[in-house]
Chains A and B, each alone.
Chain A
Amino acid sequence: MLTQPHSVSESPGKTVTISCTGSSGSIASNFVQWYQQRPGSAPTIVIYEDNQRPSGVPDRFSGSIDSSSNSASLTISGLKTEDEAEYYCQSYDSTNQGVFGTGTRVTVL
């Protein structure tokens, strides 16, 4: 299970960080991805393999892993109104089952 904060909010131009905490096993065991989902649309990937950005994703998006807290993080800097969306972390477990985080609603004030 991957647990995320229910929501975060910040003003345009600021920075937000979303955590994704694993409840069992080491989160560093398998790569973590992050997805953005705007209302009414399918998700799109914004970070893969913990900290890699697909082409076309702005460098305002960055990912990291903290083994000491068994968590992954997505940081969005220089926040824009277009970043307002739901964000999900995702990985897979030792039984080859995919797992998504609980989702975080990002609001740009």
Chain B
Amino acid sequence: QVQLVESGGGVVQPGRSLRLSCEASGFSFSDYAMHWVRQAPGKGLEWVAVISFDGRHKYDADSVQGRFTVSRDNSKNTLFLQMNNLRAEDTALYYCVRDWGEGGIDFSFDSWGQGALVTVSS
């Protein structure tokens, strides 16, 4: 079955950087677009970024543009989120999410990891 396991979360000071990883298994990782979605404590869901199956196409939310970069290594079945210049408002549980559509970006999310907690605080 599909498994998505995030890692790399932690406590970081404002202005610093952090990189999240998501190790995928149970499916052909290189055939699917992948997303990051976050959820601040006690708040709703916020879409963060998507990368196409081959890494050629990337889109991200206005709130993280210029600070966060999504990437992937299909040889290692791993998705990344490089987060720079972190702010207090980036504090959230970050989910790694598989796109429903095989070979495209459907913007529907059929499998979710359990999340990695990022806390930005001085």
Contact A44 B112 (CB under 8 A): yes
A14 to chain B, nearest CB (A): 25
- Chain B residues in 8 Å Cβ range of A91: 107
| Docked complex Cα distance between A33 and B113 (Å) | 18
Q: Which of A18-26, A63-71, A74-82, A96-104 sits within the interface?
A: A96-104
> For chains A and B in complex, what number of residue pairs have CB atoms within 8 angstroms?
64
CB of B53 within 8 Å of the partner chain = no
- Interface size for B (C-beta < 8 A) is 23
DSSP majority for the B interface?
A: strand
| Docked complex Cα distance between A30 and B45 (Å) | 19
- Chain B residues in 8 Å Cβ range of A35: 45, 109
- Chain B residues in 8 Å Cβ range of A30: 107
Contact A45 B110 (CB under 8 A): yes
- Chain A residues in 8 Å Cβ range of B88: none
B37 to chain A, nearest CB (A): 8
Contact B112 A98 (CB under 8 A): no
A103-B44 CB under 8 A given contacts A48-B100, A97-B59: yes
Residues on B facing A (Cβ under 8 Å): 35, 37, 44-47, 50, 59-62, 95, 100, 105-110, 112-115
